Amino acid sequence: AAAPGPRAVVMTMGALHEGHFDLVREAARRVGQAGTVVVTIFVNPLQFAPSEDLDSYPRDLEGDLAGLTQTLTGVDGALGVGRLVVFAPTPEVIYPAGQPSVRIDPGPIATVLEGRTRPTHFAGVCQVVLTLMHLTSPRWALFGRKDAQQLAIIEAMVRDLAVPVEIVPVDIRRESDGLAMSSRNAYLGPEQRKQALALSRALRAGRDVAVEAA
């Protein structure tokens, strides 16, 4: 039988960082001591193209479990939520037939921006998100604003398919130099990291101009 009380899910591919832990903290705040936070850790093969980094994507389940426990443990040593459940399935659990025969079409929004160069990516994201919602039956599902296009697609899917789950966006967590936290930041060399900062600097410059003009 399902655990009693409210339930929130945080869906991840592992290699957790403070951005993920912010989602977990907000999930714990919502469910309280009577509820359950479910963290899924699953590197979803359907959202990777053949030329992408499915096999090399960073994985550290032991470190993830330690980080989750530390995040939710208070100074008194007690877990700051009723229950923490970590669901780390294999692909065979999520896709028992190998390839799903029923596919989710995320619509035109998935064909622009990131979708222009990754045409199958968001269909794979929708497939796993909807499957995990069915498996975990949450009241809330928390997603970071960092992946803005993904968030918009998931919100549209939940709305259009009448999925009884409330989507909760959580703000971006950044490194001290302004780089948005991401598991894939581990791929960046020093020069690439400097180049990656151009986006956050441009956003901040635009914000400053808007504030001065207001």
For 74-126, how does the pLDDT look when each residue is reduced to its tens digit (9 = 90+)?
867 778 889 999 999 999 999 999 999 999 999 999 999 999 999 999 999 99
Domain-located, residue 1: no
Domain-located, residue 2: no
**Are 146 and 190 in a shared domain?**
no
What is the torsion angle, in degrees rounded to the nearest 10, for the CA atoms of residue 6, residue 131, residue 126 and residue 17? 60
**Are 43 and 140 in a shared domain?**
yes
Domain-located, residue 35: yes
| Total number of domains constituting the chain | 2
**Are 107 and 207 in a shared domain?**
no
**Are 150 and 186 in a shared domain?**
no
**Are 194 and 125 in a shared domain?**
no
- Three-class SS of residue 141? strand
CATH number, position 44: 3.40.50.620
List all residues 6 or more positions away from 203 whose beta carbon is below 8 Å from its beta carbon. none
Q: Cα 97 from chain centroid?
A: 25
Domain-located, residue 11: yes
Q: In Å, how far are 18, 139, 182 from 144, measured between CA atoms?
A: 11, 17, 11
**Are 204 and 136 in a shared domain?**
no
Domain that holds residue 94: 7-173
Domain-located, residue 204: yes
- The answer to whether the CB of 142 falls within 8 A of the CB of 8 is yes
**Are 22 and 58 in a shared domain?**
yes
The catalytic position among 17, 20, 121, 134 is: 20
Domain-located, residue 82: yes
Indicate if the pLDDT at residue 203 is higher than 90: no
Indicate if the pLDDT at residue 1 is higher than 60: no
pLDDT band at 214 (very low <50, low <70, confident <90, very high): confident
- What DSSP string describes 195-210? HHHHHHHHHHHHHHHH
**Are 53 and 22 in a shared domain?**
yes
- The more confident residue out of 137 and 193 is 137
* Alpha carbon distance 200, 79 (integer Å): 35
Q: Is 20 a catalytic residue?
A: yes
The pTM score is 0.91
Domain-located, residue 150: yes
- The more confident residue out of 85 and 3 is 85
**Are 119 and 209 in a shared domain?**
no
